[in-house]
A and B are shown apart, each in its own frame.
Chain A
Amino acid sequence: SQQGEEDPQALSIQEGENATMNCSYKTSINNLQWYRQNSGRGLVHLILIRSNEREKHSGRLRVTLDTSKKSSSLLITASRAADTASYFCATDARSGNTPLVFGKGTRLSVIA
């Protein structure tokens, strides 16, 4: 069963614009991770944010976490055509013994 749900399902923007993707989840977590998947390839890890952190940055990526709302957002600034990919959030639930659970992803298209 999906723990994280990304929103929107698809997003199309012009090169240079910012892209924001959201992830909502249902149960308390230890951490939340974001991954990117280029067409025909495996997923690549982007950022891990722990439950006691509110914001993390990595280059043009900014991730926020609001545990009170059970939501996270991924912001890509100054997008490039090479950012075209699917983006997934994955959650490590605090209870139970379930490994990382992935959402269905947001498909981002950056138009040059």
Chain B
Amino acid sequence: NAGVTQTPKFQVLKTGQSMTLQCAQDMNHEYMSWYRQDPGMGLRLIHYSVGAGITDQGEVPNGYNVSRSTTEDFPLRLLSAAPSQTSVYFCASSYARRGQSPLHFGNGTRLTVT
């Protein structure tokens, strides 16, 4: 039982490049979400999904796209990377919607945009 798996662990991009951060969970959780963590800022929600085919914006969605074609996968796409997107990105899932049950986190992707 792997839980929540994020790939890659580290990534360096140049300004303007695009990439996809992968997130997969094997717990059959309906709810999945993406957070970014910056020093002194805590975790801020980017996008979330309450089930396959359903996504919604969080607090800081600009510059990011998501899709949820299967229950297991929830990729995060950076359309045109900017230095302000340098951060650590966490994917999380839970069996219930919103905050009704504990979140299970992946170990993060550390992204640097130069």
How many residues on chain A are close to B (CB under 8 Å)? Answer: 27
B98 vs chain A, min Cβ distance (A): 5
A91 touches B90 (CB 8 A): no
A98 vs chain B, min Cβ distance (A): 8
Which residues, 3 to 50 on B, are CB-close (under 8 Å) to A?
4, 31, 33, 35, 40-45, 48
How many residues on chain B are close to A (CB under 8 Å)? Answer: 27
Bound Cα distance A40, B83 (Å): 21
Decide if B106 is an interface residue (CB 8 Å cutoff).
yes
Which residues, 79 to 106 on A, are CB-close (under 8 Å) to B?
88, 90-93, 97-105
Encode B66-110 as 1/0 by CB contact (under 8 A) with A.
000000000000000000000000101000001111111111100
A44 touches B42 (CB 8 A): no
Main secondary structure of the interface of A (DSSP, over half): strand
B42 touches A105 (CB 8 A): yes
Bound Cα distance A27, B26 (Å): 34
Decide if A60 is an interface residue (CB 8 Å cutoff).
no
Q: Report the nearest A residue to B88, measured CB to CB.
A: A40
**Would A100 and B99 be within 8 Å (CB), given that A42-B90, A42-B105 are in contact?**
yes
* 8 closest cross-chain pairs (CB), A and B: A92-B99, A42-B105, A45-B102, A104-B42, A100-B99, A102-B43, A43-B105, A99-B98
Give me 13 other A-B pairs in contact (C-beta within 8 A), A31-B99, A40-B108 excluded: A33-B99, A43-B92, A43-B105, A44-B105, A45-B104, A88-B42, A90-B99, A90-B103, A98-B98, A99-B45, A99-B98, A102-B42, A105-B42
